[in-house]
Amino acid sequence: MNYSFSYRLKVAGLLIVAIGFAISSFSQDTVQTVVAEKGDGILSLLRKQGVNPYEHYDDFVSMNIENLRDSIHLYAGRTYRIPVADLDTVKVVDSIQRKTKEIKKIEGKRYAIFGKDHEMVLPNSEKLKGAVYYLVSGHGGPDPGAMATYGGKSIAEDEYAYDITLRLAKELLSHGATVYIIIRDENDGIRDERILEIDHDEVAYPNKTIPLNQVARLRQRVDIVNKLYKKNRGKYQRLIVTHIDSRSVGQNIDVFFYHHEKSKNGKKLAESIHKTFQKKYKKYQPNRTYSGTFEDRTSLYLVKKTHPAMTFIEVGNIRNKKDQRRILEPDNRQALAKWISEGILLDHKLGEIGPIR
Ligand SMILES: [Zn+2]
C-alpha cells in the first residue's frame, strides 16, 4: 500500500475522533431544559433556573430561536433549553459564587438608584475601567415627552427612556465604567413591568429640579454634562442620550442614531452601536430587515451644545403598535440596553480620548 495514502487515512481518522470527542464533551451535562409557563419571559425563566439572565440572554435566544416568537417571546407549554455556564462562571443570587469545592465571593456593589430588585451590580469585566459615560434619558420631571395610550392606559416616553437608560447604566458599571445618570428618579428603579406608571419627580444630577420650559430644560442638562466633562478632563468620555420617538402614528422606525456632524468620535460611537444592532438583527431576526439608520443631526440642541463625543438614540415610535410591543416588554428593554452596551464596548475598544467631541 502506498505509504502516503495510509498516512492520510490515519490523519483523517484521528480528526474525526477528535471532532466527535469535542462535540460530545460539549453537549454532555450542559443542556438542561424547562417548560415555559404562562406569563414567563426569557428573563424570568432564566432567573428561576438560577441563571444570570443578563449574561446568558444571547445564548438562550440562539439555543431556542425556533421556539421564540419574534425571537424574543416564549410560548407557554413549550420546552426550552437553558444555557448552563461552567460552574466557575455561574453567579448565584447576590454575591456568593459556588464552585465545586470552594465558595468564592464576588464583590458586588449596590446602587440604590436601580431599585431593590436590581440594586446589586456584579462585576463582568474591567473593559471600561477609566472610561466615563454620561447617560441622559429624554424629558423627565414636568415633561413626560411623547404620550400614547396602551390598553386604555397612558404611557409616556420619559419613563421608558429612563428604564432603558438604567439598564444600560448597569451594564456599563458591570464592565468597570464610571457612569453618571444625569436624569434620575430616586424611587423608580429598573421596572420589570409593561406599563410604567407616569410620575413627575425626576431630577437632574445630582438633585436639581427640572424646569418646564424646553430651552431651560435642555440648557440645564447641557450645563451639567459640560461641567462634569471639564472635571473629568483627560479621561475617555462619552455621552449617550436616549429617546423614544413619536413621529406619525403608523410609522415603525426601528432604531436611529444621530451624532454631531463634525465629531469623528461621536460618529464612531454611533456607528459602533448601529453596527451592533445590524449584527443582532441578522442573527435573531433574519427575516426582518433592519431599517434603522445613523446620520448626523447637528440641529438637535443636545447634539450641538454638549462637549463629550456623543450619540443620540431613538428607540422605536411610542405611537406605533409594533414598536410599542418592543418598548413595553421589559425583556426587550433589557435587550436594547444590552445591545447598546455592546456597541459601546466595541467603540471603546477602538477608541481614543480625543479633543472636545
Ligand atoms: Zn423625546
Task: Kindly list the averaged pLDDT for each block of 10 residues, start to end, along the chain of length 357.
Answer: 42 39 41 85 84 81 82 86 64 46 71 96 95 97 93 95 98 98 97 96 98 93 98 96 74 77 92 91 69 64 93 88 87 94 94 71
Whole-number Å distance, alpha carbon 128 to ligand 1 midpoint, is 28
Whole-number Å distance, alpha carbon 157 to ligand 1 midpoint, is 7
d(Cα 149, Cα 19) in Å, to the nearest integer?
55
Whole-number Å distance, alpha carbon 241 to ligand 1 midpoint, is 10
Whole-number Å distance, alpha carbon 197 to ligand 1 midpoint, is 17
Whole-number Å distance, alpha carbon 198 to ligand 1 midpoint, is 15
Segments of the chain assigned E as strands: 31-35, 79-83, 96-98, 103-105, 109-110, 120-121, 131-137, 147-150, 153-156, 178-181, 183-184, 203-204, 208-209, 236-245, 255-259, 293-296, 309-317
Whole-number Å distance, alpha carbon 250 to ligand 1 midpoint, is 17
Segments of 138-190 assigned E as strands: 147-150, 153-156, 178-181, 183-184
pLDDT at 29: 46
Q: Which residue in this structure is represented by grid cell 428593554?
A: 333
Q: Which three cell numbers stand for residue 240?
A: 449617550
> What are the φ/ψ torsions at residue 21 (nearest 5 degrees)?
-65, -45
Whole-number Å distance, alpha carbon 248 to ligand 1 midpoint, is 14
Of 280, 303, 282, 291, the residue nearest 255 (C-alpha)? 291
> What are the φ/ψ torsions at residue 272 (nearest 5 degrees)?
-65, -40
Sequence-ordered list of residues with C-beta below 8 angstroms from that of 268, at least 6 positions apart, any chain: 309, 347, 350, 351
pLDDT at 229: 97
Q: Which three cell numbers stand for residue 19?
A: 471532532
Question: What is the model's pTM?
Answer: 0.72
Q: Which three cell numbers stand for residue 209?
A: 429640579
pLDDT at 245: 78
d(Cα 193, Cα 196) in Å, to the nearest integer?
6
Q: How many residues does the chain have?
A: 357
Q: Which residue in this structure is represented by grid cell 464592565?
A: 175
Q: Which three cell numbers stand for residue 353?
A: 480620548
d(Cα 319, Cα 182) in Å, to the nearest integer?
26
Sequence-ordered list of residues with C-beta below 8 angstroms from that of 31, at least 6 positions apart, any chain: 81, 82, 84
